[in-house]
Amino acid sequence: MADIHIGTINERGDVTVYYHVPVAGALRAHTLLAFGAQTLVAPGATEAEQTSADAGALREVVQSINLDVHDQNAVMGRANRFLSRFVDAVASSFPKLAKLPEKAKAKLVVTGNPVRALVMAEQASPYPASGADQTFNLLVFGGSQGARFFADFMPKVMAEMPRAILKNLRLTQQCRPEDLEAVKAAYQALNFRFDLRPFFMDMPLRIANAHLVICRSGASTIAELGVIGRPAIMVPLPHALDNDQLR
């Protein structure tokens, strides 16, 4: 089960998290009162549906606590659609939020999509120098399902690349552990520079160092690319619920 993060937010919008409390515990009125909570924000998750009844009961017990949801996608998720009847505000990354219930439209507030401090630190990073004989940094990632697709697709793309391009290419790619050896063998046969890992702890820095990014079109990814400012080819997840990545 997901945790609820308890912390503070200042006038600039900086968030400081002090505690992580399991959802079931944090939704108890006495827990929120003990921390002096003023607002409870649900980001939209499967667990939110399970605890929505507690959220409704919480309003009757603690009138001073605001209940809000945030939806990062262009299509409102099922959990947030259900919770929208209880909340004071619906925060959205987009001015138009598809599938927002009619009764909740007056609650809509456009906030954008929050990004991590590590991403904000790369906001002013200049675009890497490029030229005919300089290294071209290509970054490929896409979460678990995206990584699987790219593990199948990218070796075929690289195999079609002219040698003149491959000699200056440096590919960084997220790859599932079970796909690493096969992808590595394919790239080694083509004799170019690459870095394959299941996870990159410094992804914002790698985005900043990239000349081009190939990725899925999830809301967080789009927000981070927009903050750092790098060109990207986005491949929507075809089986996403409500096809939100395409929209």
Q: What is the pLDDT of residues 169-183, one digit of tens each?
A: 999 999 999 999 999
| Angle between helical axes of 180-190 and 143-159 (0-180°, round to 10) | 20
3-class secondary-structure state, position 83: helix
Residue 10 DSSP one-character state: -
3-state helix, strand, coil in the chain (%, to 5): 40, 25, 35
Note the pLDDT of residue 147.
79
3-state secondary structure 182-216: HHHHHHHHHCCEEEEECCCCCHHHHHHHCCEEEEC
pTM of the predicted protein model: 0.75
Provide mean pLDDT across the span 137-148. Answer: 83
- Residue 2: predicted pLDDT: 47
Distance of CA 33 to the CA centre of its chain: 30
Q: What is the pLDDT of residues 80-120, one digit of tens each?
A: 888 888 888 999 988 889 899 999 999 999 998 888 899 99
Residue-averaged pLDDT of the chain: 80
Q: The tokens 């960084």 sit on which residue? A: 172
Q: Which is it for the CA torsion 216, 217, 219, 222, positive or negative?
A: positive
